[in-house]
Amino acid sequence: MRTFILSPAALLLLMLPLGAAAQTSASPPDRTTLAAKTKAEFIHAWEGYKKYATGYDDLLPLSKTGKNWHAHTLMMTPIDSLDTMILMGMKEEADKTRALIVRDLSFDQDFEVKNFEITIRILGGLLSSYQLTNDKRLLTLADDLGTRLLPVFNSPTGLPYMFVNLKTGKTSGIESNPAEIGTLILEFGTLSKLTGKDVYFTKAKKALVELYKRRDPKTGLIGSSINVETGKWISTSSHIGGGIDSYYEYLAKCERLFADAECGAMSKDGLRAVNQYLADETPSGLWYGSSEMTTGARTRTTYGSLQAFLPSVLAFTGDLDHAKRLQDSSFKMWSMNGIEPESLDYKEMKITRAGYELRPEIIESAYYLDRYTKDPKYVAMGEVMLNDLIKYCRTDTGYTILKDVATKEKGDFMHSFFLAETLKYAYLLFNPDALDFKGIVFNTEAHPLRKTW
């Protein structure tokens, strides 16, 4: 039996009509102090990575060593962290890191990579850091990587294979999902615009359209697993969690970044189906669960840390009502244990997957809502979450995942997205002037892409 003990600050936020909380607390959140605190935590995590895991993709904070995804590092943490350093004003450290990336990063590697992960982290990271520094060598690296990834699109349907060998171009992985298929257009499209090579945009856009075409004709929902060679669904379970989530994000952002009306129409239609069949109004608030794609019938009432991205997309597309109410639910989920779980049965208010992977989505949504509403309650939420992260996930070597949010037992991994996203969104929430929010679009790894075309 789990007990839910709320921290005093979280309790205050939940008890007050949300919005009044920040004004009524003893001292209103001071953005400058919170931004400086977030930057200090970023430096702590980055220094831990450098000390124990230089030469590896990720830090294992408890083992005090590093780990690679493949036979050789692709410099995952340095690339994911670089634009955060730039936005935090860490010029000297960013210059050093950029020089190291340019010197050591090579994509001439005889191993298979996961197209989606490499695209959002490495391609996205190189492109945004190129735009922030104007260092052409980063664009050359991105172009080289893009060329090596392109064979994924050579399936009979145009839906990309999951894996590709960076040296030989050999592809594998015919069972894919909407997130891995539909979360490529921002990076590949930007690469097209910056290099003048249309092929990147054309292939990624075709993948998106081919996926959309396979939505259920009655409900408009999509499933969670599809065969890229036959184009047939393998799983017709529909939801907004991992494996589907960023498909919706990229439809909306594709419209904004490329002024692409077709993406806009697909986004509108997709979100309509999501709101019609997945939104769940319950006594404990608004949530989004799972439904059968062909009927819209509810199959599961679970929501978790990944799903907490949705308020950001709802706010981005102008649906502030759903966005605000869903963020309140996400924060309720966070406050149950002072850290959110991977999955919660929102009907029973019972945890169904107890881990926490240092995920950013709930803070990302707080950042978007702060930008669109200017309601101080989102900064207050951010303050609670930052303090909880420091309390439960910090180690003397960096930050780490939790195996169980109730017991706070620590795991042994610091995902690169903690530096790319979680701490970046927290910092930008507290110091919004560090970036021109309206002039950029974030990829799903929080790498800002600027429309310069």
Q: What is the binding site for ligand DMJ (CB under 6 A)?
A: 120, 246, 306, 359-360, 417, 421, 444-445
Helix axes of 91-104 and 136-149: crossing angle, nearest 10 degrees? 50
CB of 382 to ligand DMJ, least distance (A): 17
Pairwise CA distance, residues 357 & 411, whole Å: 9
Pairwise CA distance, residues 112 & 127, whole Å: 22
CB of 411 to ligand DMJ, least distance (A): 15
Structural tokens at position 116 = 């989606």
Do residues 371 and 432 lie in contact, with contact meaning Cβ atoms separated by under 8 Å? yes
Helix axes of 136-149 and 185-195: crossing angle, nearest 10 degrees? 120
CB of 369 to ligand DMJ, least distance (A): 17
Q: Where are the beta strands (DSSP E) in 310-437?
A: 343-345, 350-353, 394-395, 398-399, 402-404, 409-410
CB of 443 to ligand DMJ, least distance (A): 9
Residue 306 or 339: the one with the smaller Cβ distance to ligand DMJ is 306
Residue whose structure tokens are 């004003």: 89
CB of 445 to ligand DMJ, least distance (A): 5
Residue 117 or 269: the one with the smaller Cβ distance to ligand DMJ is 117
Residue 397 or 444: the one with the smaller Cβ distance to ligand DMJ is 444
Pairwise CA distance, residues 87 & 145, whole Å: 24
Residue 13 or 420: the one with the smaller Cβ distance to ligand DMJ is 420
Residue 211 parent element (H or E): helix 198-213
Pairwise CA distance, residues 193 & 132, whole Å: 16
Residue 39 or 424: the one with the smaller Cβ distance to ligand DMJ is 424
Nearest to 80 by CA among 450, 452, 444, 451: 444
CB of 185 to ligand DMJ, least distance (A): 14
Residue 260 or 361: the one with the smaller Cβ distance to ligand DMJ is 361
Query: Among all residues, which ones are annotated catalytic?
Result: 117, 245, 342, 361
CB of 248 to ligand DMJ, least distance (A): 11
Pairwise CA distance, residues 160 & 207, whole Å: 7
CA distance to 35, 110, 241, 367, 412, per residue, from 399 (Å): 18, 32, 24, 21, 9
Residue 223 or 241: the one with the smaller Cβ distance to ligand DMJ is 241
Which sign does the torsion angle of CA 77, 124, 139, 146 carry? positive
* DSSP-assigned states of every residue in 284-312: TEEEE-EEETTT--EEE-EE-TTGGGHHH
Q: Which residue's Cβ has the minimum distance to ligand DMJ? A: 444
Do residues 209 and 181 lie in contact, with contact meaning Cβ atoms separated by under 8 Å? no
Q: What are phi and psi of 434, to 5 degrees?
A: -70, -15
